[in-house]
Each structure stands twice: as structure tokens, then as C-alpha cells.
Homo-oligomer: A and B are copies of this chain.
Amino acid sequence: MKTVKHGGNIYAIANELGIAKEEIIDFSANINPLGVPESFQKALMKHMDIIKNYPDPEYKALTEAIAAHHGVDEEYITVGNGATEVIFSIISALRPKRSLILAPTFLEYERALRKAGSDVAYYLLKEENNFQIGDEFLKTIEKDIDLIILCNPNNPTSQLIDRKRMYKILQYCEERNIHLMLDEAFMDFVDEFDKETMLPYIKDYKHLYIIKALTKFFALPGLRIGYGLTSNTTLLEEVKGGKEPWTVNSYAALAGEIVLQDNAYIEQSRIWIRSEREDFYRGLKAIHKIKVYPPKANYILFQVLEPSRNIKERLLQKRFLIRSCDNYPNLNDRFYRVAIKSKGLNHQFIKALNEVFYED
């Protein structure tokens, strides 16, 4: 099994260019530009010495905070070192024989599935359908599939499966004993996310697993904290039994307790995304050399219509780092993903991209 490239690797790039990583304007990682919540920074200053103890192996206070935030039972929750640990550990406990994932989607699903010995089938998203799943999705599911993983909104496409359609998928899976893992790591950025999340179905659907992360919405990717929710408590017991102890560090556990209650930060973030997603999308769409797919999350996928423009390298000369999608199945080197950042940076980026296309 090989490691894969992700966005956000500003270290290697800075090293390559011989500049400080602070000089890079990072559009490659999908992180809330409001930055680390002040509420957490204050709590960290106050509780800096909590790391002199081992973390609570049960993560009780953190689990309570998550349960209260979502209004779900504590016993339905498992926490992990980022969403990634939760994804790997649930898959490892489910031991699927054959799994279905989207193409393209987040690359770690396939790594986790291969590690667990699962065969992997792809549902190929169609470019002409803006990479949304089609009405025929359920009909294409082969009989031997025992796990379906859907990232919603999907990464890197920023497309959403709406709740009406997702509910049909859920019913289909529950009736056929197919496990359905929904990665909602970016759901909080969606307009009316509370009408789209499948969290309300956790209690009654034992085959449903929802993955969440604090990484993106609360701008804490370096802290490593994610969690999973399911009412399949038998499986959760196995997940917890197979885990290494203390994988969530004490500062991350503290952050979880604090930021989920930071309503000011949450509200500010919603105001930002509502305003800047539309603004950035319109700005990009005005560049006729690219095709932009209408975004639902905090990032935007676009395709360069003329090949071999060396977009990424030429933007890097201007210090802008973007995510090439050439290592995603079903995409190629003409596709790029950019994060939505502050209005000022988004406008600078659009200007830079225009220069790349029109200056030579």
C-alpha cells in the first residue's frame, strides 16, 4: 500500500521553492479561513499543563460535548485521531468483502478498504452531470457489495447528495444489510446543512455510520480530531476494542469540548461561507478558459478547458498553491480543487488565475 498525495502539503512545496511556508497562499487545503477559534486559544493558555496526564482513555467529557452538540446518545459515538482514524477503524471492524466508493472521492477510503482486504468497486461520477450521482445509482449496485461509502458533500467535487435521495439510498441499504458510511466532514459548510445531514437517522438505522471532523470547520487540521456516530453499538465495541489507546491528544479533546459550544465562531463561519462561496464561484465562472462546477461545500472544482497550461506551476510562481486532482480516479491533470478563503484572497486568486490565462 502506498501513501497518497493530499492538499495542504505546504512543507514540501516551500522546501522545493526555497521559501518559508508562511509565504505560500494555500488554496489546496479546505480549511475555514477564520482560523483557529479564539475560544480554543484561550482555553489552551489556561489548561496548557493538561498534557502532563494521559488523556482520558474513555474521552468522557469530549464524548458528552459531541453528544450534546448533535443531540445523540453518548454510546453512539467513537472519537479518533482525525476522521481518518475513525474511517480506518470502522472499516477494519466491518471487514467488508466488497465495497463501493465514488470516483472521484477522498482517497483514504480506498487505502483503508485495501488495508482491510476489501475489494473495491467504483461508481463513476459523470463530468457531464457535474459529478453528481445519477438516478440510476441504486440500480448499478452489484449484489455482493456489503459496504457503500459516500462523502457528502463529496471531496473533491463539492457536490451534494440531497437528503431525499440519500434517504432512498439509506432505505435500500438497511433493507439489504448493506453498511452505509457517510462522511459528512464538510456538511457543516452546506447551506441548510441541518436539513441535509443524515444524523437524525442514526438512531433507527443500524447500518448507518456517519463520520465527522472538527478539522475543517474549526480550522484545526494540525490538532487531529474526528468522530464517528452509529447506533450499531456492537460494532462500536469492536472498534474501541481494536483501537490503540489515547490516539486523541489532550489538547484535541479540550478543543472538541470548547469549539462545539463556540456559537459566535459557528455563526461567523456561516455568514462567511454563504457570502464567499457565491462570490468566488461567480468570479471563477467569469474566466472562460475553465469550467467550474457549482459548489456546495467550502471548495470548488474546476476543469481547465485547454490542456497543458501548467496552471499549478504558474500559480505557484505567484505563491498560490492549488490542489491538482490528477491522482483521483476518474479525474485527470486538467482538474483542480481550490478552497474558498477570505474575500480578499479569493479576489487575489481570481486575478492571478486570469493573469496565467491571458498574459501570454
| Chain A residues within CB distance 8 Å of chain B | 1-3, 6, 8-12, 15, 21, 26, 29, 31, 35-36, 41, 44-45, 48-58, 60, 81-82, 84-85, 88, 108, 115, 219-224, 240-247, 249-252
CB distance A48 to B41 under 8 Å? yes
**Among the listed B21, B29, B81, which residue makes an inter-chain contact with A244, where contact means beta carbons less than 8 Å apart?**
B81
Q: CA–CA, A6 to B245, complex, Å?
A: 9
A3-B245, A222-B251, A249-B252 given; 9 more Cβ-contact pairs under 8 Å: A8-B54, A26-B53, A41-B49, A50-B222, A55-B222, A82-B246, A88-B244, A221-B246, A224-B247
A52 and B220 in contact, given A88-B244, A244-B84, A246-B82 (Cβ under 8 angstroms): yes
Cα distance, A52 to B215, chains bound together (Å): 9
A51 near B36 with CB under 8 A, answer yes
- A50 cross-chain contacts in B, Cβ below 8 A: 222
In angstroms, Cα B47 to Cα A343, docked, is 25
When distances are taken between beta carbons in the complex, the residues of chain B under 8 Å from A242 are 1, 115
Task: Tell whether, in the assembled complex, residue A52 and residue B221 are in contact, meaning their CB atoms are under 8 Å apart.
Answer: yes
Q: Are A58 and B12 in contact (CB under 8 A)?
A: yes
Q: Is B58's CB under 8 angstroms from A36's CB?
A: no
CB atoms of A84 and B246 under 8 A apart: yes
Residues of B within 8 A of A44 (CB): 44, 48
Q: B246 and A2: CB pair below 8 A?
A: no
Q: A241-B2, A244-B88 are in contact. Are A222 and B52 (CB under 8 A)?
A: yes
Which one of A15, A29, A222 has the highest number of Cβ atoms from chain B below 10 Å of its Cβ?
A222
